[in-house]
Amino acid sequence: MSSDPHISEQPAAAATAIACDIFCAVIDNFGDIGVCWRLARQLASEHGWQVRVFVDDLHAFQKLCPSLALDRARQTVGGIVVEHWHEPAHAGDTLEVADVVIEAFGCELPPTYVAAMAARARTPVWFNLEYLSAEDWVADFHLRPSPHPRYPLTKTFFFPGLGPGTGGVLKERHLDAARAAFEASPAAREAWWRQTTGHPPPPAEATVVSLFAYENPAVDSLLEQWRDSAGPVVLLVPEGRISGAVARFFGLPSGPPSFTAGTHATRGNLSAHALAFTAQAGYDALLWASAINFVRGEDSFVRAQWAAKPFVWHIYPQADDAHLPKLDAALAHYARTLPAAARDALARFWHAWNGAGRPDWAEFQRHYPALKQRAAEWAGELAQVGDLAGNLALFAKTQLK
C-alpha cells in the first residue's frame, strides 16, 4: 500500500464520482456557453464530478476559453471533457450516458442519447436548465418534474433566480475571497491596469466604468455626458458589439473591427481604453477594478452582482418586449431597500439603457453612495439563495440515492 494517502484514495474517488453531461447549443453571443462552462468548471472543481460538455460552437467557446482547439471532436480542458456536438444525433463516440444530464436552455438532446438514457440500468437525473429570470413565477416552477411522453424518464426544470425557492445563480466558493484580495492589494490593482490597458491606474478622483453591452442608441448621449462631466471618467470597453459606437464617438474607424484592444482615446473629461476580450476567469477583475459596471445578457449580469458595485443591465432583447417585465423584476429585487429617490433614479437609468428615455448620468452619480451600499447588501441577500451549482448538485444527489 502506498504511504501517500492521495495515491491510494484517487482511484476510489474517481470510481464513485458522479458523471455529468451538459448539452449546450449556442444561440448567439457568449451567454449560453458562458453559463454552461462556468457550471461545468464548478461541478468539477467544487463537487468532484466528472463533467463532459457537448457544445455545438467551438468558436464562441474559444473566446471564453482560449486553450480550446477548434479542430478537435473531443478534448479535455482543465479536467473537463469537451465534445464538439454535431447536430442532431452526435453525442460522443460512445453512448455512455452520465448519472446527471443537463440540457441547457431547452437545447433538445439527441434522440439517440435520450433512448440510451431510457435503456440505462440506473435512470439518470435529467435537468432542463432554464434561463435566469427574476420574476416571481420562477419559484413555483423550479424543480417541477415533467414525465417523458414515451420513455420512463423524468425531466426536472431547474430555474435560476434571484429569490428564495429558485435555483439561485452561479457563485464559486472562492469568489468573495478573490475579490477581497484584489481590492485589498494596490499592487494587484496596479499590475491589472498595466497589463490590461498598458497604463497605470487612474487617479482616485476618476470614475472608472466598464462597458459590456449590445449595440445601444443611448450610448451616444452617455458618451457626451461623460465627456462633459465635472470629474474625469475612465471607460474600459472590451472589444465587442458596442465598440463601433465608441470608435465613432472618438472619430476613429468604426469597423468592424473597431476600437480594437490597445486603442486609447480621449475627449474632454472622458478617456477610454479598448480591452481585449479576456478568458472567462479574467472578466471578474474588470468588474472589481471599476466603480460602475455596464453588463448584459445573463452571466455578466450575475458577475456584476457578486462584484458588489453599482451596475447597469442591458438585458437581452426579446420579441414583443418580453424582456421588459424581466428587467423590472430584477429591479424589484435589487432596488428593494433603496431610498425612493435612488430607486427611481436607478430604474430610470436602467430603462433608458434599455430603450426608454435618455440616461441621466448626473442623477445616477448623485445617488452613487446609496447605490454602492445597496450593491454590497444585495450581494449578501443573493448569497442566501445559495449557489446554483451547489443547489443542483444537492438535488441530483437526493435523486441518485
Of residues 17 and 175, the one with the C-beta less far from ligand TRH: 175
The rounded distance, in Å, linking the Cα atoms of 291 and 295 is 13
The rounded distance, in Å, linking the Cα atoms of 399 and 401 is 6
Least spacing, CB of residue 191 vs ligand TRH, in Å: 18
Tell how strand 145-147 and strand 154-158 pair up. antiparallel
Count of C-beta atoms within a 10 Å radius of residue 44: 20
- Catalytic residue at 224? no
The rounded distance, in Å, linking the Cα atoms of 386 and 171 is 8
Least spacing, CB of residue 332 vs ligand TRH, in Å: 19
State the residues that interact with ligand TRH by CB under 6 A.
Answer: 27-32, 34, 64, 131, 212, 238, 277-278, 280, 283, 296-300, 316
What is the phi/psi pair of residue 224, to 5°? -65, -40
Exposed / middle / buried, residue 307 (Cβ in 10 Å: 0-12, 13-18, 19+): buried
Exposed / middle / buried, residue 208 (Cβ in 10 Å: 0-12, 13-18, 19+): buried
Exposed / middle / buried, residue 15 (Cβ in 10 Å: 0-12, 13-18, 19+): exposed
- Catalytic residue at 93? no
Of residues 157 and 277, the one with the C-beta less far from ligand TRH: 277
Of residues 254 and 278, the one with the C-beta less far from ligand TRH: 278
Peptide bond into 256 cis (omega under 30): yes
Of residues 191 and 341, the one with the C-beta less far from ligand TRH: 191
Spot the catalytic one: 32, 99, 299, 387. 32
The residue written with cell numbers 453571443 in the block is 29
**Angle, helix 175-184 to helix 186-197, in steps of 10 degrees:** 90
Of residues 316 and 368, the one with the C-beta less far from ligand TRH: 316
Least spacing, CB of residue 253 vs ligand TRH, in Å: 21
Of residues 271 and 280, the one with the C-beta less far from ligand TRH: 280
Least spacing, CB of residue 210 vs ligand TRH, in Å: 8
The rounded distance, in Å, linking the Cα atoms of 20 and 112 is 17
Least spacing, CB of residue 297 vs ligand TRH, in Å: 2
Spot the catalytic one: 56, 99, 284, 298. 298
Least spacing, CB of residue 293 vs ligand TRH, in Å: 10
Q: Which residues are catalytic?
A: 32, 298
